[in-house]
A and B are shown apart, each in its own frame.
Chain A
């Protein structure tokens, strides 16, 4: 079965990352899942691999196909991360799908997400939500 190369989970909540990691692992939709505690860590990593600083053959190298992004995080929040992400090499960004995953139902946040044309998911992440996301962005993938 075809799988996603990698998924990045960006959330300052460790337990949430753990639960999402557990769910996604069980669904077996990706070869690799990596967790980051805030936007900056994730961005630094993405910047490094987009610049070829990380060797593509090393175990550290995970080119993500899907990024699940929390909004409220210390250091660099979800929207700041989005702004930085836009500055990365367009070719590198082309096949990466970004989705916000948050507890916030604040209109201000949902409107901002809609303006950035980005998928908006509310926590908790469930099998149904993952399935919908895959149908939307990776129709070639099917859950078992």
Chain B
């Protein structure tokens, strides 16, 4: 027992009930072990509080640490001091008691929080679920990446195809452009050649006309100077007059060809009335119908107007009518039908006769040639159909001929219509 005497032993007397001296060692060992374990628990709790990163848990751990420390203090104080320490030790015990009550109260307060702390098993299950979810997500992401890659590959392929197609198209367009350019150049050349030809025809006919008129005048003058009673001379003069007349007429026709196509006159296109112009032309050709049994049916009610220069329409109707009269079938009364109507985007003019007709297949492509003639029994210059064709060409129109030998001929002239309110309403 001497072993215990390094402590101020009279303290034992303060414990109630007093410890019987023969069990003092038991009491001492108990107190020391309790105090030490309290100390160990307290320091462990402090250590944990130090490591915790959430404030609330830290405070609770700290509080229990302090309680442990106080507990250890009480146990050790049981071993400490004599009579003079009595009050101190009891006060300390009181403080520890109060602090414990406080701690118990706080513990009671944090019960819901402590209950909320999930058990490791639940955590494990939750973790497992989370892991599975993560795995699932990773799989989905991988699948997505694969799809994305596939898509990108496809996009690249398509882009490549598109680029190739584009390049092909560009090349195609380039070719077309150059072809178009060539065409335009050729077209321009053609237009120029045509204009040159028109100019040539115009100036040639004009310049030849003077001398021809002179010849006619000189012939007339010679006739005046010569005696009139020579039948041989009269015969010669008749032939000479006829020849000069022919030249003159051809020249007039030629200058008509060139004059009608002058671009200056193309600008003067307005809507002209079929009825009006036809009346004019009918009056002009009237004398050619003298003594000819004939009927003429005229009906422009379906399309009373056409967008064309007046002079061009006059020329067209004149040549179509004179053609029908010239090439009539003498064994039957002449019947001419003239009518207009609307066909798609065109105004169609129809001039039909029951005359000699011609074998169109035989002359295909030559009908509208200059100086081309199909009958030799009547006077003709071979210029009328050419003029008709040129006028239609110049006005972007087209012309069709239906003819049967011995039955008659039908000319169909198609004029493109500019979009006037009247025609759009009808279409």
Most buried by B among A13, A103, A105, A107: A103
Known contacts being A19-B218, A72-B206, is A107 close to B262, with CB within 8 Å?
yes
**Is B107 at the interface (CB under 8 A from chain A)?**
no
Contact flags A82-113 to B (C-beta < 8 A → 1, else 0): 00000000000000000000011111100000
Chain A hits for B210, CB < 8 A? 13, 16, 103, 123
A103 touches B213 (CB 8 A): yes
A124 touches B264 (CB 8 A): no
Cross-interface CB contact of A108 among B221, B255, B264, cutoff 8 Å: B264
Whole-angstrom distance from the CB of A15 to the nearest CB of chain B?
4
- B251's nearest neighbour on chain A, judged by CB, is A103
Cross-interface CB contact of A103 among B209, B217, B218, B259, cutoff 8 Å: B209
B206 touches A15 (CB 8 A): no
Give A123 to B218 CA distance when docked, in angstroms: 14
**Is B216 at the interface (CB under 8 A from chain A)?**
yes
**Is B214 at the interface (CB under 8 A from chain A)?**
yes
- A72's nearest neighbour on chain B, judged by CB, is B206
Give A16 to B209 CA distance when docked, in angstroms: 12
**Is A129 at the interface (CB under 8 A from chain B)?**
no
- A13's nearest neighbour on chain B, judged by CB, is B210
Chain A hits for B207, CB < 8 A? 72
A19 touches B214 (CB 8 A): yes
B221 touches A22 (CB 8 A): yes
Cross-interface CB contact of B255 among A13, A72, A105, cutoff 8 Å: A105
- How extensive is the interface on chain A, given as a class? 10 to 19
Chain B hits for A124, CB < 8 A? 213, 216-217
- A104's nearest neighbour on chain B, judged by CB, is B206
A19 touches B217 (CB 8 A): yes
Cross-interface CB contact of B259 among A22, A72, A107, cutoff 8 Å: A107
Contact flags B188-230 to A (C-beta < 8 A → 1, else 0): 0000000000000010001101110110111001000000000
**Is B168 at the interface (CB under 8 A from chain A)?**
no
B265 touches A107 (CB 8 A): yes
Chain B hits for A72, CB < 8 A? 206-207
Chain B hits for A15, CB < 8 A? 211, 214, 217-218
- B311's nearest neighbour on chain A, judged by CB, is A107
- A17's nearest neighbour on chain B, judged by CB, is B214
Whole-angstrom distance from the CB of A12 to the nearest CB of chain B?
9
Whole-angstrom distance from the CB of B347 to the nearest CB of chain A?
25
Tell me the chain A residues, 1-47 only, with Cβ under 8 Å from chain B: 13, 15-16, 19, 22
Give A108 to B267 CA distance when docked, in angstroms: 14
Chain A hits for B255, CB < 8 A? 105
Give A22 to B217 CA distance when docked, in angstroms: 10
Tell me the chain B residues, 155-175 only, with Cβ under 8 Å from chain A: none
- B214's nearest neighbour on chain A, judged by CB, is A15
Chain B hits for A22, CB < 8 A? 221
Give A13 to B214 CA distance when docked, in angstroms: 9
Chain B hits for A123, CB < 8 A? 209-210, 213
Give A106 to B259 CA distance when docked, in angstroms: 7
Give A22 to B202 CA distance when docked, in angstroms: 29
Chain A to chain B contacts (Cβ below 8 Å), 15 pairs: A15-B211, A15-B214, A16-B213, A16-B214, A19-B217, A19-B218, A103-B206, A103-B210, A104-B206, A105-B255, A106-B259, A107-B264, A108-B262, A108-B264, A123-B213
Query: Which of A's residues lie within 8 Å of B, judged by CB?
Result: 13, 15-16, 19, 22, 72, 103-108, 123-124
The 7 closest A-B pairs by CB, nearest first: A19-B217, A103-B209, A15-B214, A124-B213, A123-B213, A13-B210, A103-B210
Contacts A72-B206, A103-B209 supplied; 6 other A-B pairs, CB < 8 Å: A16-B217, A72-B207, A103-B213, A105-B255, A106-B206, A107-B262
Query: Which of B's residues lie within 8 Å of A, judged by CB?
Result: 202, 206-207, 209-211, 213-214, 216-218, 221, 255, 259, 262, 264-265
